[in-house]
Structure 1
Amino acid sequence: MMIDPEVVTLSRLQFALTALYHFLFVPLTLGLVWILAIMESVYVMTGREVWKRMVQFWGVLFGINFAMGVATGVTMEFQFGMNWAYYSHYVGDVFGTPLAIEGLMAFFLEGTLVGVFFMGWKRLSRHAHLLVTWFLALGTNLSALWILIANAWMQNPVGAKFNPQTMRMEVTSFTDVLFNPVAQAKFVHTVSAGYVIGSMFVLSISAWYLLRGRNVDFARRSMTVAASFGLAAALSVVVLGDESGYAVSENQKMKMAAIEAMWETEPPPASFTLFGIPDVQNRTTHYAMHIPWVMGLIGTRSVDKPILGINNLVEDTKGKIGNGIQAYDAMLTLRKDPNDAQAKSTLAQYDSDMGYALLLKRYVADPRQATPSDIDKAAASTIPNVPVLFWSFRIMVACGFYFIALFAYSFWLASKRRLDNNRWYLRLALYSLPLPWVSTELGWIVAEYGRQPWAIEGILPTALGVSSVSAGQVWTSLSGFVLFYSLLAIVDAVLMLKYARKGPDELGIWPVREITPPLESTVSAH
């Protein structure tokens, strides 16, 4: 049966939209919960009521965001069975355990701890409530760990082997799945990005209060915590991003080449392309500005290892497709006769390349009947969208360095007790609020869009993972999700803006409304 490209495109679009929307909430939860834990720790150590009230106010915004994250996360797992049935069958043995543990943590552990966090202020001692908050922070991050272990396996499928009788991947070493080097790099990089979002969220809203002369003592302290935590997080994102980049260069060479728009292999160490305009049709990059050695050092941690170019990788893929065709033929033989010794030998030799033969199913029903032209098309299909990856990566990196500069300056102002004396800085902090989300969404695009055409790198093409549904059915579910998520977006925006504008004073958390004049009035008076 030939693959319907419209079903594949619509299924990918639906999953991408829901994932991108869900990821608006997850990173804020990851970062904000640690800020709550830090603030409550100060409260317990000092006994000063202001710190308790800070935890309670930011906890309200955390609770709204947490609820939205859970609501939008449920649909993500439903889609595996709805739009990606064969994918679910193919990887269920591997995915089952991480997703089950993630579900237990997200819906049972986290849900329980969130309830105790909000209801326990008058029922628990200060130390007991602090313990709950720290366990909530830990549980939230461990929940992210398990989903990233599952995702990392798609990028680097270790600890599993294809079974020709069941036609699915089966776990051979759960330890290898758990300690996948890509999972480790993705986890620390992703949670650090979440910490930046949480810090920017607190910094920006606090800056808004200072601009209006509201909750001044509250806002100063909040900004001090956000500046300190944010600076450490922003530095971590850059350092850990380097580790993530190294993991990509080891396991996903085509993605690395596409990020760099590197069409030909350069002599090591490769340079980093600071600016350029990728030309996909002619396979070149115009107006390229290079920084010598940087990409080679980041990607290979050496001065003598090359980073393969796109054209070289395409040629290598043609050879893997040829090997994969032999493995595919052996697999079909073993399904008829499981004792065929020659087929077992051939499959053992080439099974790692069988996924490349499956790329041919976009062009021919039986990969063994593929023509040289079909093989050329299949090999070329392994090139992801180079301009999208090239610019997404560079904008993401630029945002990362901007965050370091902003948080470093914020930390300096906090140390000098001058946070509320600089109007342009407060406006800059306020207007910077969307940027961490922009950078994390771009990071998601680099990671997931850059893996295409693979659902599982080198194993299962995305086009083969879809369910046996019609394009009309996918259109219906996609329309429903867009409508539902749009309504959720409106509800979330209204609630977050409502409670952020009210502030701790109007919510009764901050009992005395301060009368400090707005910063704009103070500046204009002088």
Structure 2
Amino acid sequence: MIDATLVELSRLQFALTAMYHFLFVPLTLGLSFMIAIMESVYVMTGRTVWRDMTKFWGLLFGINFAMGVATGIVMEFQFGTNWAYYSHYVGDVFGAPLALEGLMAFFLEATLVGLFFFGWDRLSKVQHLAVTWLVALGSNLSALWILIANGWMQNPVGAVFNPDTMRMEVINFAEVIFNPVAQAKFVHTVAAGYVTGAVFVLSISAWYLLRRRHVALAKRSLTVAASFGLAAALSVVVLGDESGYALTDNQKMKLAMIEGMWHTEEAPAAFTVFGIPDRNAQETRYELRIPWVMGLIATRSLDQEVPGILELLALAELHIRDGLLAYDALQRLNENQADAEAREIFLANQHYLGYALMLKRYVEDPRDATDEQIASAMRDSLPNVFALFWSFRFMVVIGFYFILLFGAAFYMCSLRRQVPRWFLRVAVFSLPLPWIAAELGWLVAEYGRQPWVIEGVLPTFLGVSSIGLSDIIITLAGFMVLYTVLAVIEIKLMVKYIRRGPEAEAGEGGGQVLPLPDDRPASRPAALPEEAR
């Protein structure tokens, strides 16, 4: 029997290290393209303020990139240390995109980032610009491969279980790469990263304008962030809808939990704006609903149903019983590979083998499971509906807030209107929101997949390594201390260089402290440079 504490601690360790790591990833994705846009303007116009912008935001990108690489290394090693059986079971599939991600991150990206920082005086303007764009593309390609691996865990296509080797094996690598869930997840994740980068630039630029520092750089950065951020925020909503549509065919239980829909409704289903899911009562209380919307989002039609939680639980019980046929046939094949009847039964029911493996939480041989144990395994396929329901809604609210924020900034910048101080303050205080939304998004994606580490194939509790509780407790504490120290270092470095500001060139006004034509003068005119006075 598997130690439940070991499983939960292994899950906690991976979740915490992943969440720490993803504090750095979205900012890397977003800043890389914004820096490339800024340098493109510099090459086209020759104005040094745009070069100062590229160098300044590039320095912050470099700090964040280094932290992202450092925290990402640990995650990959955890597959072999804490999730050994998972690595053995699906290593043939999962290993290839993971290796390609490592090559992109540690070889391609690292080389290009080095050229970006040390190539200003060694490369021509056009050559350096090409390097900057390659840094942006390399960052996104690195994210592509890890999201292909994660997308396969959500929708395991292009691979089958081989009863002779007792492992999952690739039969069509193109299906793994072009997995619709992986592609939807990739574009949605990188778009969220672009929003993070845009909010970061918008907030820091607003802070400079509030303090009347580096005005030329801040105004231009604000304009770039507003336009880039508005496009990205709109994309997140559209691509998020596409990700939700992908759940309709591949993760029906996650979709039902996000909606808090306990029973299948007559098509088209309504969308629940507000509600309190109650797992014990198996209902969602105090619902505020919009007719038809959920049906349109989930099925793109008016006549297709969205299955409810209770109906999906009943279906899971049927899958468990079909999986028992596959498990029994597999045991017979282990004893006699020439058993044609057993092989035929296995091939007919192999898609449900994972459901039978869920019984190993309760009994060593799933074939010995009682009806009560089968019912318990069925109930395991339902995580905490309340957490999933509200995580999704908070994420969506923040996403629509960004559209309003960037839309207002874009309107003021495009009409060359003075940005009011109240809006600058709102922009500054919006800084942490994209990280909150990103972490909520990953909670929906990963927690909503439970109890599977690979959807319908391998239960999470079977993927852990056989290690001692003391080992995982020590490493968990060590990682948390280390990652907290790294996070503190990152924040201190960011604050240090933001306070210092860019090294502006003379003649562009990028480094001057100038008064803005708004409601009040600078508080300390004596501190202004001589030429400004």
Q: Does the TM-score normalized on the shorter chain lie above 0.5?
A: yes
Preserved contact between residue 30 and residue 191 of structure 1 (Cα < 8 Å):
yes
| Structure 2: distance between partners of 1:512 and 1:435 | 28
Counterpart residue number, 1:347: 346
- Secondary structure of 1:166's partner? coil
Counterpart residue number, 2:304: 305
Q: CA deviation at 1:409?
A: 0.4
Q: CA deviation at 1:514?
A: 1.8
- Secondary structure of 1:290's partner? strand
| Structure 2: distance between partners of 1:62 and 1:337 | 59
Using a 3 Å threshold, how does the CA distance of structure 1 residues 508 and 381 change in structure 2: closer, same or farther? farther
Counterpart residue number, 1:492: 490
| Structure 2: distance between partners of 1:101 and 1:496 | 30
Preserved contact between residue 216 and residue 509 of structure 2 (Cα < 8 Å):
no
Counterpart residue number, 1:11: 10
Counterpart residue number, 1:222: 221
Counterpart residue number, 1:443: 441
Counterpart residue number, 1:465: 463
| Structure 2: distance between partners of 1:513 and 1:98 | 45
Using a 3 Å threshold, how does the CA distance of structure 1 residues 449 and 45 change in structure 2: closer, same or farther? same
Using a 3 Å threshold, how does the CA distance of structure 1 residues 80 and 369 change in structure 2: closer, same or farther? same
Q: CA deviation at 1:516?
A: 1.6
Preserved contact between residue 11 and residue 474 of structure 1 (Cα < 8 Å):
yes
Q: CA deviation at 1:306?
A: 0.6
| Structure 2: distance between partners of 1:21 and 1:40 | 30
Using a 3 Å threshold, how does the CA distance of structure 1 residues 199 and 325 change in structure 2: closer, same or farther? same
Counterpart residue number, 1:198: 197
The answer as to 2:80 corresponding to 1:81 is yes
Please say which of residues 215-224 and 471-480 is displaced more in the overlay: 471-480
Q: CA deviation at 1:365?
A: 1.1
Please say which of residues 491-500 and 110-119 is displaced more in the overlay: 491-500
Q: CA deviation at 1:180?
A: 0.3
- Which of 419, 429, 433 is the equivalent residue of 1:431? 429
Q: CA deviation at 1:508?
A: 10
Counterpart residue number, 1:335: 334
| Structure 1: distance between partners of 2:361 and 2:162 | 23
Q: CA deviation at 1:517?
A: 3.1
Counterpart residue number, 2:187: 188
Amino acid paired to 1:236: S
- Secondary structure of 1:169's partner? strand
Preserved contact between residue 57 and residue 509 of structure 1 (Cα < 8 Å):
no
Amino acid paired to 1:365: E
Preserved contact between residue 333 and residue 340 of structure 1 (Cα < 8 Å):
yes
Counterpart residue number, 1:323: 322
Counterpart residue number, 1:134: 133
Using a 3 Å threshold, how does the CA distance of structure 1 residues 6 and 507 change in structure 2: closer, same or farther? farther
Preserved contact between residue 49 and residue 505 of structure 2 (Cα < 8 Å):
no
Preserved contact between residue 211 and residue 520 of structure 1 (Cα < 8 Å):
no
| Structure 2: distance between partners of 1:140 and 1:126 | 21
| Structure 1: distance between partners of 2:395 and 2:470 | 36
| Structure 2: distance between partners of 1:520 and 1:28 | 33
Preserved contact between residue 161 and residue 169 of structure 1 (Cα < 8 Å):
yes
Counterpart residue number, 1:164: 163
Q: CA deviation at 1:512?
A: 6.4
Q: CA deviation at 1:165?
A: 2.2
| Structure 2: distance between partners of 1:425 and 1:290 | 33
Preserved contact between residue 28 and residue 195 of structure 1 (Cα < 8 Å):
yes
Q: CA deviation at 1:296?
A: 0.6
| Structure 2: distance between partners of 1:522 and 1:357 | 72
How much identity, in percent, do the aligned residues show?
64
- Secondary structure of 1:274's partner? strand
Using a 3 Å threshold, how does the CA distance of structure 1 residues 107 and 377 change in structure 2: closer, same or farther? same
Counterpart residue number, 1:27: 26
Counterpart residue number, 2:372: 373
Counterpart residue number, 2:473: 475
| Structure 1: distance between partners of 2:355 and 2:519 | 62
The answer as to 2:58 corresponding to 1:59 is yes
Deviations 1:195-229 (A, max 9, x none): 00000000000000000000111100000000000
| Structure 2: distance between partners of 1:11 and 1:79 | 9
Deviations 1:384-423 (A, max 9, x none): 211111000000000110000100000011012235x401
Using a 3 Å threshold, how does the CA distance of structure 1 residues 5 and 520 change in structure 2: closer, same or farther? farther
Q: CA deviation at 1:29?
A: 0.3
Q: Which runs of 5+ in 2 are unaligned?
A: 525-533
- Secondary structure of 2:109's partner? helix
Preserved contact between residue 212 and residue 520 of structure 1 (Cα < 8 Å):
no
Preserved contact between residue 48 and residue 508 of structure 2 (Cα < 8 Å):
no
Amino acid paired to 1:490: V
Preserved contact between residue 185 and residue 240 of structure 1 (Cα < 8 Å):
yes
| Structure 2: distance between partners of 1:231 and 1:149 | 27
| Structure 2: distance between partners of 1:524 and 1:266 | 63
Counterpart residue number, 1:212: 211
Amino acid paired to 1:213: R
| Structure 2: distance between partners of 1:278 and 1:469 | 37
- Secondary structure of 2:160's partner? strand
Q: Which runs of 5+ in 1 are unaligned?
A: none
Preserved contact between residue 34 and residue 224 of structure 2 (Cα < 8 Å):
yes
Counterpart residue number, 2:527: none
| Structure 2: distance between partners of 1:311 and 1:190 | 31
Counterpart residue number, 2:528: none
Please say which of residues 157-166 and 449-458 is displaced more in the overlay: 157-166
Preserved contact between residue 53 and residue 509 of structure 1 (Cα < 8 Å):
no
- Secondary structure of 2:521's partner? helix
Preserved contact between residue 53 and residue 510 of structure 1 (Cα < 8 Å):
no
